Structure 1
Amino acid sequence: MNKFVKSILALGITSALGLSAVNAATYQVIDKGNVSSLKYTYSQQENNNGEAAISGTDIYNFPVQFQYFDEEDYDFIVLLAERSHEGVHDLVNIEDEVALRAGNPTANDLSWVIRFLSSRAGNSLYQEVGDVFAMTNFNGQTELFNVFDENIPNTDILTRSTKEFISGITNEGWVYGNASAPYLPLDFTKSDAEEVTHWLRAFTTRGFFSSDGGASIIEVIPPSETDLPEDQRFGGESAILDISESHFAVGYASTSIDQNAIDFINDETGGCADPDILADLPFKVCVQQIIAEVYNTEAIKWSIDEQGIISSEILGQLVTPHVDDVREYTNYAQAINNQGVAVGYAHGWVNENVTEPSARERRSIYAVVYKNGEVMDFTEDHGKYFDSRTYDINDAGIAIGHVNAFINGNQRTKFYHVDTNAETMEMILPTDFFNGSSSTARAINESGKIVGEGEVETHNDNTSTPRRTHGFLYDITSETFTDLNDFLACGSDYTIIEARDINDANEVSATALIRVPRRDSKGELMLDEQGEQLLEDVVRAVTLQPIAGELEDCSAVEEKVERQGAGFGLSSILLLTFAGLARRLTWKRKLKQ
């Protein structure tokens, strides 16, 4: 029943700083993310049988299709490397331009090609780099599985242009989430007889589930693709964000499309139906350029079985906009328990007392519960708390998430729990790492244990130096808050930076930082000038498994690390690495305020 946001935090963390003064060796780290084809992996969810849903990014040997490059593209790649290499960690200027132009680049030069393609994201004339992958761990083996990707025409190679977001795994081993369609080449001749290739996909994102661990995929077709007229069907959007053991599924799906978009698509004087435009651009490519942000989505609850969807229910909006308010209104259902009570977030009025909203009424996002046919907001004081989210709910009806507030003049997120059974629901905000720390709760198990992550540094954070985060465990019954790293043995190789799930055996699905041998873009080990193996910090999906243990005094270990701290000088460079990783793993569309 747990739901996890599909983005990893911007991480400014180094292995050297990951130890606390006192650690309890009551958890051992089980590494489930060591995948030979990927650089980074991160945890999503683990069921009560120890089976896990895992995501990853940065695939080695990305299948660049060099036959679609022209000489100007190669010129730009060479110029990009020449102008940028001094500011990019681990990369140097182009090593072998002749081999590059022949489509056989060195690993260093392949990295520059991938950077070039990434800089062209959204431009249909260039191959897309998807680079977010879904994985499962059954019987201790982590393996990739394909959701909607297809082979590049006339090859047996997947396009790797899809973004596959696996949300979780049930105790039966059902996996679920949402993924995009692959970009496939479409040849086109322009009005001046120039032949070009566009890269086209069928939809932006679509929900899926699999009752056999990913071997077969069942798509969730959104209402916009079944209920709208054929000329308004452009793929739609949907996602399954949680499935309960009673086979309730929740998420969101597109139910309509913005009228302004329809008008533009059908416009024959400047829009996608304009004959002058169609002479130089395929109709579907024109639609693709605008379609990602134009769907109106609704929170939906589905009843499902192994064959597919049995029934569906639109859960409703938190507020009713003015008749002249044409903005998109977002509402997501993030999690559902076995009683059918769902939680999530939705647009609501900043002034919670508004009964007759204007056409441009001020709004924000608020945590909600979907129960008994109602959508209820429990962010009680919108003047104090705002922009809240709910991410999980257990069978006892305890929901968790985070809410924004101003603390000492700075906007921070704070994790909370709330009893959705109460007549007056009240968010409880426990003490976390420190007063000015931003924290988020991601999951809660049936015994009331909550996991998430929070900031552990006190400096003023900004985009260039984000605060380090650690995963935490909070016990509602004992009201105890603990840094998850305090449960590990002294000198652990892993620093737990976030926690995404906790099952009923108190096993924590987390993401850790660990130092490993460095590999290039082709997956080959990298050596320094003396032939010594280079190392780097990566994020890795792990499980924290409870063990019998006692408190350990790690003061001596920490003192040694502090004396040797200069040996871990990559932290400033890692900020750039992980900031880029965060962008690739962002899945939620930008909310239009």
Structure 2
Amino acid sequence: MKTLVRSVLTLSISSALALTTAQAATYKIIDKGAADKFKFTYSQQENNVGQMAISATDAYNFPVQFQYFDENDYDNIVLSAERSHELVSGINDIEDETALRNGNPTANDLFWAIYYLKDTQKSSLFYQKYGDIVAMTNSGQESTEFTVFDVNFDGTDTLTRSTVDYINGITDQGWVYGNGSAPFLPVDFTDSNDNEVTLWLSEFTTRGFLSTDGGNSIIPILPPETTYGGESAVLDISNNGIAVGYASTSIVEDIVELIESEDGGCRDPEVLDDLPFEACVQLRANGMYNNEAFKWNLDVNGEVSKEALGLLVTPHPDDTRQHISIAQAVNSHGVAVGYATGWQDETETNPSENERTSLYAVVFKDGVVKDFTEDHTEYFDSRAYDINDAGIAVGHATTLSNGSYRKKFYYVDTNQENPQMVLPQDFFTGSSSSARAINEHGIVVGQGEVETHNDSSSNPRRTHGFMYDINTDTFTNLNELLSCDSPYTIIEVRDINENNEISGSAVIKVERRDAKGNIMYDEDGDALTEDVVRAIKMQPIAGEIEDCAKVVEDVERKGASTGIISLMLLSLLGFARRFTKK
């Protein structure tokens, strides 16, 4: 699943900056607009005719099915709010407990119900599932959601919002593609103690899809192995109809034995007394399949032919672990790139059944899977995300940098007999970076860290989008190509088309909305604000890069009536636009 950025921070922009006349820049932002039902939107890819694939998440009015909560659940929601409300800005303790327990909460109390649901559903089959990643298309300002595999709750017109639907791209013909999960639906069950319980079950974890009509109809792309559901995904389609991704070809033997065992497994009568077979399998679904890279030649009906692209290594006959290969991009010549399981010792030709493994970037070409990470002790856990028609691929590899392991973006010429990764200089030596796309002009885009503190899961480094020109060996922070008065901060980039238009995601400050989507106000009646991630397009314009520090100096010299606080913000802004390590 492609990573979604949620922890964000931007600077307020003083109105004094708007007084300046300097508007020079080389790119302008086209905001693809807020999705009225969702807080966050993320760009995935834009074709050459202005159509964009967009993901959205954090739905307003999430359809919590309160009828499945018992009194203990409500007690826990109330207790959670009591303990944690002071830690969440703008959110209060439970406002109307009676209304909450009647399934009609205030927006504030709906927040706590969703908070509880997100926490409990992670490891339990007894709670409604929170998927809430949807696929959208955009041909201008408005983004339109389309349903992949989700369904309405029985007897309602409300989607379950339990699916995770990734739209991975859109071709110049308007074909959209990706992968999505099956919805989790309630199933009643009586256990061995005659307790009536409700389990939330789904038919498969992820399945590829194609839509040739912009999402109005969905064509599933089935894997060869469909036992217990199977897995597949369409990760890229060239404009001449060549698709790549992955599909399950077999089940990991150890998991099959565990599932089918009648002694402690899912076929055990004592297990079946307290858990349906489908539920037991669902608990063991993680890492169940050996997924192999696939190539499909597609037409409007969904498939003409398919081809398994193979694995990078041949495991020992007694090696029953999961081994995978994934094709993430393909060019018009049918050359694909991605990653696959490989041996940590790249010279190994006679692997043991427990041979040490990692994942390595590969190219799938002429029936061969080739690893271009020459020295596995120096570079490992690598990925290839895109390839152009000239055969230049891009991605990232993990390596030791300043004493810590960091991802570093690279490009590589797959036409060479022994392709060698080239790792250009990025934001700074200890920055993690990843290249996500390259166009036919040799322009690479991606994102990298611009902050230097010791990062952790609770305090990650912020990222900025970047552009790298292979022809001139020029690396550029994309935020530096915007006007100095831009309220956007580009934090992630996924694609660049042949018009040099860039698909990205940016932070923008907007009016804050509650769990039901209504604008929130402070005690004085002023609208609260918050930072959100918004899908954007960067469009080239005639101009030149601004010196934002000089713009600040001009404002100060002209004596704009901003006050000392505003001037401090302006100075900070000028510094941040050029030098902040995010």
2-structure distance, mates of 1:531, 1:567? 29
1:312 matches 2:309: no
Other-structure match for 1:447? 441
Unaligned residue ranges in structure 2 (runs of 5+): 557-565, 577-582
1:449-493: CA deviation from partner (whole Å, max 9, x where unpaired) = 010001112222222222121101111112111111111111101
Q: What SS class does the counterpart of residue 9 from structure 2 fall into?
A: coil
Instruction: Describe how 1:459-474 pairs up with structure 2 within 5 A.
Output: 459-474=453-468
Percent identical: 59
Other-structure match for 1:125? 126
Q: What SS class does the counterpart of residue 310 from structure 2 fall into?
A: coil
Other-structure match for 2:100? 100
2-structure distance, mates of 1:151, 1:81? 30
Question: How far is 1:551 from its partner?
Answer: 3.2
1:184 matches 2:189: no
1-structure distance, mates of 2:571, 2:548? 20
One-letter amino acid matched to 1:53: A
Question: How far is 1:270 from its partner?
Answer: 2.0
Task: Indicate if the aligned counterparts of 1:33 and 1:42 stay in contact, CA closer than 8 A.
Answer: no
Greater shift, 284-293 or 68-77, is seen at: 284-293
Corresponding pairs, count: 556
Question: How far is 1:565 from its partner?
Answer: 7.8
One-letter amino acid matched to 2:208: G
Q: 1:406 aligns with which of 394, 397, 400?
A: 400
One-letter amino acid matched to 2:203: A
1:14 matches 2:10: yes
Q: What SS class does the counterpart of residue 307 from structure 1 fall into?
A: coil
2-structure distance, mates of 1:405, 1:562? 42
Other-structure match for 2:348? 354
1:215 matches 2:209: no
One-letter amino acid matched to 1:199: W
One-letter amino acid matched to 1:65: Q
Task: Indicate if the aligned counterparts of 1:297 and 1:329 stay in contact, CA closer than 8 A.
Answer: yes
Task: Indicate if the aligned counterparts of 2:426 and 2:433 stay in contact, CA closer than 8 A.
Answer: yes
TM-score where L is the length of structure 2 = 0.92
One-letter amino acid matched to 2:43: S
One-letter amino acid matched to 1:220: I
Query: Which structure would you say has the larger RCO, counting Cα contacts within 8 Å and 6 or more residues apart?
Result: 1
1:259 matches 2:264: no
Other-structure match for 1:563? 568
2-structure distance, mates of 1:11, 1:67? 32
1:103-158: CA deviation from partner (whole Å, max 9, x where unpaired) = 01111111111111111224121111111111000244311110000010111111
Q: Measured at CA, do residues 173 and 97 of structure 1 come closer, stay the same or move farther in structure 2, by a change above 3 Å?
A: same
Q: What SS class does the counterpart of residue 293 from structure 1 fall into?
A: coil
1:244 matches 2:238: yes
TM-score where L is the length of structure 1 = 0.90
Q: What SS class does the counterpart of residue 526 from structure 2 fall into?
A: coil
1-structure distance, mates of 2:103, 2:156? 16
Task: Indicate if the aligned counterparts of 2:363 and 2:369 stay in contact, CA closer than 8 A.
Answer: yes
Q: 1:365 aligns with which of 351, 355, 359?
A: 359
Task: Indicate if the aligned counterparts of 2:237 and 2:244 stay in contact, CA closer than 8 A.
Answer: yes
One-letter amino acid matched to 1:500: R
Task: Indicate if the aligned counterparts of 2:450 and 2:462 stay in contact, CA closer than 8 A.
Answer: yes
Q: What SS class does the counterpart of residue 315 from structure 1 fall into?
A: strand
Question: How far is 1:86 from its partner?
Answer: 2.1
2-structure distance, mates of 1:507, 1:239? 26
Q: What SS class does the counterpart of residue 292 from structure 1 fall into?
A: coil
1:335-369: CA deviation from partner (whole Å, max 9, x where unpaired) = 00000000000111111111111111111111100
Greater shift, 451-460 or 327-336, is seen at: 451-460
Instruction: Describe how 1:524-563 pairs up with structure 2 within 5 A.
Output: 524-557=518-551, 563=568
Other-structure match for 2:559? none
Instruction: Describe how 1:201-350 pairs up with structure 2 within 5 A.
Output: 201-225=202-226, 233-350=227-344
One-letter amino acid matched to 2:569: Q
One-letter amino acid matched to 2:68: Y
One-letter amino acid matched to 1:563: M
Task: Indicate if the aligned counterparts of 2:287 and 2:322 stay in contact, CA closer than 8 A.
Answer: no
2-structure distance, mates of 1:432, 1:35? 33
Question: How far is 1:17 from its partner?
Answer: 9.8
2-structure distance, mates of 1:310, 1:120? 43
Instruction: Describe how 1:355-394 pairs up with structure 2 within 5 A.
Output: 355-394=349-388
Task: Indicate if the aligned counterparts of 2:552 and 2:571 stay in contact, CA closer than 8 A.
Answer: no
2-structure distance, mates of 1:194, 1:344? 48
1:466-524: CA deviation from partner (whole Å, max 9, x where unpaired) = 21211011111121111111111111011111111000000000100000000000000
Q: What SS class does the counterpart of residue 308 from structure 1 fall into?
A: coil
Task: Indicate if the aligned counterparts of 1:12 and 1:465 stay in contact, CA closer than 8 A.
Answer: no
Q: Measured at CA, do residues 12 and 548 of structure 1 come closer, stay the same or move farther in structure 2, by a change above 3 Å?
A: same
1-structure distance, mates of 2:296, 2:224? 12
Q: What SS class does the counterpart of residue 552 from structure 1 fall into?
A: coil
Question: How far is 1:417 from its partner?
Answer: 0.6
One-letter amino acid matched to 2:209: F
2-structure distance, mates of 1:506, 1:49? 12
Other-structure match for 2:197? 196
1:166 matches 2:162: no
Q: What SS class does the counterpart of residue 192 from structure 1 fall into?
A: coil
Greater shift, 239-248 or 136-145, is seen at: 136-145
Other-structure match for 2:56? 56
Question: How far is 1:189 from its partner?
Answer: 2.1
1:238-260: CA deviation from partner (whole Å, max 9, x where unpaired) = 00000011211111111111222
2-structure distance, mates of 1:380, 1:276? 52
Unaligned residue ranges in structure 1 (runs of 5+): 226-232, 572-593
2-structure distance, mates of 1:457, 1:491? 22
Question: How far is 1:79 from its partner?
Answer: 1.2
